[in-house]
Amino acid sequence: MSLVAEALVSQIAATEPWPENATLYQQLKGEQILLSDNAASLAVQLSDVDVSKTESDIPGVVFRPFCKCVICLSKWFVGQMQNICLHLGHSLSDGLDEVQKAEMKAYMELVNNMLLTAELYLQWCDEATVGEITHARYGSPYPWPLNHILAYQKQWEVKRKMKAIGWGNKTLDQVLEDVDQCCQALSQRLGTQPYFFNKQPTELDALVFGHLYTILTTQLTNDELSEKVKNYSNLLAFCRRIEQHFFEDRGKGSSSIRLS
């Protein structure tokens, strides 16, 4: 939307109280949702957003091939985590100083740059995963032949994007190398602290949790991605801690992390 419209929307959103019936729409957990979308959805749930229910079908919308994680407030849909955080009106990172905020944003970009791109690569550019898991899952809510068409279209889009940012020629090993580097950086930044910035979780913690938890708990054709994450014990402890504090306490108890 244009600059003016967006400014207006965030003005309005900041002053309205958070509505009672905010709904988080995401794809079906068992059958449809993909790695990167699950990560985004978890990150949102963690960010202190009060959602009364999570649904998987936006009523009245038939084709939503682009649908990732979308929140329906009383009047409008808000997509993507950054915009959702904007609508919260307050920020989890209010207590940070300028330099820390810069660091937080930088690390969030690192996660988006490396982890998210690696997840997309694995889902759409690794032939084994694509054939066995992604195609079926992505196309599951649609009738034939739409399921195939949409899946191929999405695959083509993702491959184009990979080529544009220079990941087109990377092999799976190189991608896993990059994931390892990213996890190493996150692990070093986290150190022995409970959260990335002191004692309070911030948007960065939400984002990192979303991605790492999803990588650790999603079954793919090979386990190399989750093995890379498991090498870093403080990251595992971090995920477990957040899962216990925020998800089990609220009674949303999803399956605990399989750490074998």
Partner 1 sequence: MAAPLELSCWGGGWGLPSIHSESLVVMAYAKFSGAPLKVNVIDNTWRGSRGDVPILTTEDNIVSQPAKILNFLRKQKYNADYELSAKQGADTLAYIALLEEKLLPAVLHTFWVESENYFSVTKPWFASRIPFPLSLILPGRMSKGALTRILLTRGQPPLYHLREVEAQIYRDAKECLNLLSNRLGTSQFFFGDTPSTLDAYVFGFLAPLYKVRFPKVQLQEHLKQLSNLCRFCDDILNSYFRLTLGDG
Q: By the criterion CB under 8 A, which residues form the site for partner 1?
A: 1-3, 66, 79-80, 98-99, 101-103, 105-107, 109-110, 112-114, 160-161, 164-166, 181-182, 184-186, 188-189, 191
The CB-of-20 to partner 1 minimum distance in angstroms stands at 26
Residue 152 C-beta: closest distance to partner 1, Å: 18
Question: Least CB distance from residue 7 to partner 1, whole Å?
Answer: 11
Beta-carbon count within 10 A of 70 CB: 22
Q: Is the Cβ of residue 109 or residue 223 nearer to partner 1 in the bound state?
A: 109
**Which C-beta is closer to partner 1: that of 136 or that of 185?**
185
Q: In sequence order, which residues have a C-beta less than 8 Å from that of residue 17 and are 6 or more positions away?
A: none
C-beta of 35 vs 108, nearer to partner 1: 108
DSSP-derived 3-state class of residue 65: coil
* Shorter beta-carbon distance to partner 1: residue 112 or 147: 112
Q: Return d(Cα 27, Cα 67) in angstroms, integer.
A: 8
What is the nearest approach in angstroms of partner 1 to the Cβ of residue 26? Answer: 16
Q: Which helix (H) or strand (E) is 40 found in, with range?
A: helix 35-46
The count of C-alpha atoms lying within 13 angstroms of the C-alpha of 221, restricted to the half-sphere facing its C-beta, is 13
End-to-end CA gap in the chain: 46
